[in-house]
Amino acid sequence: MPLPETQIPGRLQAYFSERGIRITQQRRAVLRVIETATKHLDASQILRKVQRVDASVDRSTVYRTLQLLKRHGLIDELDLMHIRGEGHYYERKMNREHIHIACLRCGKITEFVTSTYDKLKQQVEKDCHFKILVSRLEVGGYCSACRQ
Amino acid sequence: MPLPETQIPGRLQAYFSERGIRITQQRRAVLRVIETATKHLDASQILRKVQRVDASVDRSTVYRTLQLLKRHGLIDELDLMHIRGEGHYYERKMNREHIHIACLRCGKITEFVTSTYDKLKQQVEKDCHFKILVSRLEVGGYCSACRQ
DNA sequence: TTTCTAGTTGCGACTCGGTCGCATCTGCTG
DNA sequence: CAGCAGATGCGACCGAGTCGCAACTAGAAA
């Protein structure tokens, strides 16, 4: 019998409890929003979604949780070429790093995975004697629809 | 690995006068600072350097000039993995796009040019039917010195 | 050389993303 | 179930960047 959905700890929550990081109601809500997000969210969007579950959650709690996740390498921070505003977008860290392709006209974000990216990072590590922990490749331009 | 200084001084100003963009004392000072910079500067560093020449230049003039340069594709805007603060860094657009490698411990920024990067961008254009105008690849990790 | 004006500037007020200090509260372990 | 380290909410704060407006100026035209 599977547990009811609210009791299934997500991957992020599992990571927290394994490491003895305290899981609070507020954190659980933030993690849930990030885990179930279908697109890139910025901090204020995350806050709004969290507050639909628990209206008392504060901005700073969301920011602090995002910092925590970033420090543990569980989320990636994106700029998305500053298409809308100056803030950052967040997404769960995926198994495979991918390229973010942002259309400067319609604002659509596409993700693209290719082994060439992995090769490029390997080359940087070798040629520059550098240990890569995070990388971010963002591309801006016009998608095929907008070029018509 | 650092790029050679191949830029002819005054190119930005030349671009302006060719296009009939008004050249003011303030703009001249900002362009000069950007053209003679030996490292990546953020807006407030540019302002400080400009004010050493003309103390009356205002923040907003620097920001407006940076916007102008960005719009004309004459400078690149960098995040540099937010090593110090949230602001942006600027550099003259080079002939060849390069990767920015930021050491998360000592803060050193290295630039790296490779044809693999060009190939990767070509692949994105082809596979995603996307016209790339700007791209930004930033890498964070530990340099060889900091790993000792 | 002087005149004229569209474009630029300085200023101050503002927005917005993000941080911090502090009093209060709460997961968690014993 | 008690104790407390660590998390939260709140409000003040910070720094980056923007904007409206009156004053100024580069540079074309006379």
What pLDDT digit, counting tens, does each position of B38-90 carry?
Answer: 999 999 999 999 999 999 999 999 999 999 999 999 999 999 988 888 899 99
Considering only CB atoms, which chain B residues are within 8 Å of A144? 129-130
Residues of chain A whose C-beta is under 8 A from some C-beta in B? 77, 79, 81-82, 99, 101, 103-104, 110, 112, 114, 116-117, 119-121, 123-124, 127-144, 147
The predicted pLDDT at position A81 comes to 85
Domain boundary among the residues A52, A70, A93 is at A93
Together in a domain, A7 and A78: yes
Angle at B110 between CA A95 and CA A84, to 5 degrees: 60
In a domain, B6, yes or no: no
In a domain, B51, yes or no: yes
Alpha helices in chain A (DSSP H): 11-18, 25-36, 43-53, 59-71, 115-128
Together in a domain, A2 and A60: yes
Together in a domain, A116 and A60: no
- Output the domain CATH number for residue A100: 3.30.1490.190
List of protein residues whose beta carbon is under 7 A from strand C: A 17, 20, 22-25, 42-44, 59-60, 63, 67, 85-88; B 21-22, 24, 26-27, 54, 56-58, 60-61, 64-65, 86
- Output the domain CATH number for residue B51: 1.10.10.10
Together in a domain, A26 and A80: yes
Together in a domain, A81 and A8: yes
The predicted pLDDT at position A3 comes to 37
**Portion of chain B with pLDDT greater than 70, in percent:** 94
Q: Cα dist. B120→A139, B29, B33, B99, B111 in Å?
A: 11, 37, 33, 12, 17
With a cut of 50, say whether residue B6 has pLDDT above it. Answer: no
Together in a domain, A100 and A65: no
Q: What does the alpha-carbon distance between residue A74 and residue A134 come to, in Å, rounded to a whole number?
A: 11
Total domains in chain B come to 1
Q: For chain A, 148 residues long, give each residue's pLDDT as a single digit of tens.
A: 443 444 456 899 999 999 999 999 999 999 999 999 999 999 999 999 999 999 999 999 999 999 999 999 999 999 998 888 889 999 999 888 999 999 998 999 999 999 999 999 999 999 999 999 999 999 999 999 999 8
Together in a domain, A2 and A69: yes
pLDDT band at B146; cut points 50, 70, 90: very high
Give B82 CA → D6 C1' in Å.
27
Together in a domain, A76 and A122: no
Measuring from the CA of residue A85 to each C1' atom, give the nucleotide at the shortest distance: C16
Together in a domain, A116 and A62: no
In a domain, B115, yes or no: yes
In a domain, B4, yes or no: no
In a domain, B1, yes or no: no
The predicted pLDDT at position A86 comes to 87
The verdict on a CB contact (< 8 Å) between A124 and B112 is: yes
Full residue range of the structural domain in which residue B143 is found? 11-147
